[in-house]
Amino acid sequence: MPGIVTVNTSPYEGQKPGTSGLRKKVKVFLQENYTENFVQSILDANKGAVAGSTLVVGGDGRYLVKEVVDKIIKICAGNGVSRLLVGQNGILSTPAVSCIIRKYKTLGGIVLTASHNPGGIDNDFGIKFNCANGGPAPDATTNQIHALTTQISQYKTVPDLVCPIDKCGVQKFDVEGQTFTVEVIDPVDDYLALMREIFDLPAIGRLLRGEGGRKFNVLIDGMNGVTGPYIQRIFVQELGAPPTSVRRVTPLEDFGGAHPDPNLTYAAELVEEVRSGDYDFGAAFDGDGDRNMIIGRNAFFVTPSDSLAVLAAGAAAVPYFRSRGVAGLARSMPTAAAADRVAKELGLPVFEVPTGWKYFGNLMDAGRLSICGEESFGTGSDHVREKDGIWAALFWLQVLAASGLSVEDTMKEHWRKFGRNYFTRYDYEECASAPCAEMMLSLERTITAPGFAGSVLTGQGKAYTVAAADDFSYMDPVDHSVAMKQGLRIIFTDGSRIVMRLSGTGSSGATVRLYIDSYELTDVLGDAQDMLRPLVDIALQLSDLPRYTGRAAPTVIT
Ligand code: G1P
Ligand code: ZN
């Protein structure tokens, strides 16, 4: 009978969850008790509720996931958790964890992922706690977890408990007279069951099999991340798409050396295949399956801000929304406002929240929000409390199956009706932290100085008048909690915006994100980079970014 051991430990600095959980280099997590401290602090933050509870545990298949699952099993046994639902081989996509937490009404879940960050021994790992609503823990909880990591002196574990996770099934252990159950579950079953409830999958299947006379070829890219088994099961087995419709569908610990982030830079292979091949639709997902990128024939690119708007406008094609209706829309602050125009047309409320999925959860729980998204390739709804990549691709396919249009024509028709929010994001990755912090301070001083509002700024000969400028803050309309300093924004009188913020998901250094958007009612077919160049120019001058970062060009342009 395995026994509980109390291990003495001491705090590590910097165990502060960022935009989405604690993310650090693998080698940081490998330090003695580093992982144990954080897991114990998660459980301590739920004190009183942990004994006798059920938790979900799984991750994106990256290096260290299996080892950390094993540690979590032992620490949960040591802390009186009564049951764990663990993905087979430690595999569970982030939206699947959310789905399973909600379906089985568990206390929450621990997600092992650094999302779209590269994996492998020299790269990133991450641990995130999701609450009983299935969503990422709110700031109050993550702050509490962080506070506990600064005081921790002991953790409890059951070192002798041996629990293999390579086969599905129930294992029961007697831990000092209490039964501790580990249920190793199929990673896809519950998620697929939910997709069957939401969508008319047979209609999507007919489209993908070319029935009804319309040939429609898709290429779905798992980027060697966690979505592989989901893609294989849903697109090939369930929907009957040919096996050649999927690529990179085996989860690899280092993602095959790829950077599993579905954007035009890191998913370039998919973009090239769709551009040169006979495909009507391409989609890629990130390491943990919550992000998506959608492209059409000839690699026609859909910005995530537009994708959100198109899906919101087409929600009636989806049985889930037909029967439940759509309560409201939301987007993160830097996301272009295309969805706002759809909300206006449909008479729906629209919310603007800080960056990070955790801010959508309260609105969903209160029944005020149904469909939301972020410019960072995140789209989702109240079916779970995470963004959901595969769901977004299925949503697009449902809309296309109903309309009979191509991706490009869908987009162009949307712009003709609503106008177009041109959008671009420049990322300057892994810059030195101190000069970036200084740059942000100086920019904040500039834009909040008296007289800045009302001033005229000129880029490439085009003049814009500043209407307002601030450091974005948000009060949650449900619990009235306030999030401050969520990004510097300059709003011009024509509605164009410049937004600049520092990333909260990086594992080292600083990443500067510059977001530009501009609305055009009739001139909707231009090239986004050409259209936005004057504003980019203004942003670079105003922030003096090239000097502070030493970078002449961004790492990634979206
Ligand atoms: C980034 C994105 C943000 C997203 C988060 C998690 O955060 O910008 O929209 O919610 O990843 O996927 P950031 O690195 O900008 O803090
Ligand atoms: Zn992700």
Integer angstrom CA distances of residue 92 from 65, 162, 186, 380: 11, 21, 9, 17
User: Ligand 1 atom 2: the closest Cα is on which residue?
Assistant: 376
pLDDT tens for 130-161 read 999 999 998 889 999 999 999 999 999 999 99
Residues 308 and 162 in one domain: no
Least confident stretch, 321-335, 349-363, 369-383, 406-420: 349-363
* Domain with 329 in it: 190-418
Same domain, 402 and 430: no
Q: Is 421 helix (H, G, I), strand (E, B) or coil?
A: strand
pLDDT at 532 over 70: yes
> What pLDDT score was predicted for residue 2?
80
Query: CA torsion sign, 93 to 98 to 104 to 109?
Result: positive
DSSP 137: P
Q: What does residue 478 show for φ and ψ, rounded to 5 degrees?
A: -95, -55
Q: Are 351 and 440 within one domain?
A: no
| pLDDT cut 90: percent of the chain above it | 93
Q: Which atom of ligand 1 is nearest to the CA of 356?
A: 10
Pairing of strands 378-381, 371-374: antiparallel
Summarize pLDDT for 188-215 with one digit per residue, the tens.
999 999 999 999 999 999 999 999 787 8
Q: Give the pocket of ligand 1 (CB within 6 Å).
A: 19-20, 115, 332, 355-357, 374, 376, 378, 503-505, 513
- Residue 337: the pLDDT is 94
Short-list 287, 282, 292, 291, CA closest to 260:
287
Angle at 218 between CA 217 and CA 223, to 5 degrees: 155
Instruction: Give nearest CA residue, ligand 1 atom 4.
Output: 356
- Looking at the structure, tell me whether residues 536 and 510 fall in a common domain: yes
> Among the three residues 396, 418, 440, which one is the final residue of a domain in this structure?
418
Q: Considering the entire predicted model, what is its pTM? A: 0.93
Q: What is the pLDDT of residue 109?
A: 98
Which residue among 41, 115, 332, 376 is the active-site one? 115
Q: Tell me the pLDDT tens digit for each residue of 468-510.
A: 999 999 999 999 999 899 999 999 998 899 999 999 876 678 9
Q: In angstroms, how far apart are the furthest CA atoms of the chain?
A: 77
CA 245 vs CA 122, 208, 220, 335, 398: distances in Å: 32, 9, 6, 30, 17
Rounded distance, CA 135 to CA 109, Å?
Answer: 9
CA of 493: how far to CAs of 311, 418, 450, 456, in Å?
Answer: 28, 19, 17, 10
Ligand 1 centroid–CA 73 distance in Å is: 29
For ion ligand 2, residues whose CB falls within 5 Å: 115, 286, 288, 290-291
Separation of 178 CA from ligand 1 center, angstroms? 41
* Chain segment 299-312, per-residue pLDDT in tens: 999 999 999 999 99
Rounded to the nearest angstrom, the distance between the alpha carbon of 330 and the centre of ligand 1 is 16
Nearest ligand to the C-alpha of residue 114? 2
CA–CA dist 285, 246 (Å, integer): 12
H helix or E strand, kind and range, residue 242: none
pLDDT, tens digit, for every residue of 107-117? 999 999 999 99
The predicted structure's pLDDT at residue 135: 94
Q: Are residues 71 and 41 in the same domain?
A: yes
The enclosing domain of 66 has a CATH number of 3.40.120.10
Distance 18 CA to ligand 2 centre (A): 13
Q: What is the percentage of the chain residues whose pLDDT exceeds 70?
A: 99
- Average pLDDT on 83-88 reads 98
Based on the domain organization, do 506 and 467 belong to the same domain? yes
392 and 265 inside one domain: yes
CA atoms within 13 A on the CB side of 393: 31
- For residue 475, give the H/E element and its range: strand 474-475
Quote the Cα angle for 101-102-106, to 5°. 50
240 and 365, same domain (yes or no) = yes
Are 374 and 457 part of one and the same domain? no
Ligand 1 atom having least distance to the Cα of 332:
9
Question: Last residue of a domain, which of 402, 418, 434?
Answer: 418
Q: Who wins on pLDDT, 21 or 34?
A: 34
Q: Which of 399, 418, 437 is the last residue of a domain?
A: 418
Whole-angstrom CA distances from 501 to 88, 437, 534 are 38, 10, 20
CB 99 within 8 A of CB 160: no
Beta-bridged to residue 83, according to DSSP, are 54, 181
- Residue 213's alpha-carbon distances to 218, 219, 274, 397, 521, in angstroms, are 16, 19, 22, 16, 36
Give me the amino acid identity at 289.
G
Q: What is the domain count for the chain?
A: 3
**Distance from the Cα of residue 10 to its chain's centroid:** 32
Q: Which residues contact 525 (CB under 8 A, 6 or more apart)?
A: 412, 415
Quote the ligand 2 centre to 291 CA distance (angstroms): 5
Considering the chain, what is the average pLDDT of its residues?
Answer: 95
Q: Check whether 18 has a pLDDT greater than 90.
A: no
Over residues 111-125, the mean pLDDT reads 95
DSSP 3-state assignment of 116? coil
List alpha helices for 499-554, DSSP H.
528-543, 545-549
Mutate-to-test residue for ligand 1 from 308, 505, 515, 556, highest number of ligand atoms within 8 A of CB = 505
Is there a single domain that holds both residue 197 and residue 262?
Answer: yes
Give the pLDDT of residue 509. Answer: 87
pLDDT at site 507: 66
Query: Residues 104, 176: one domain?
Result: yes
My answer on whether 259 and 402 are in the same domain is: yes
Is 507 annotated in the active site? Answer: no
Q: Which atom of ligand 1 is nearest to the CA of 355?
A: 9
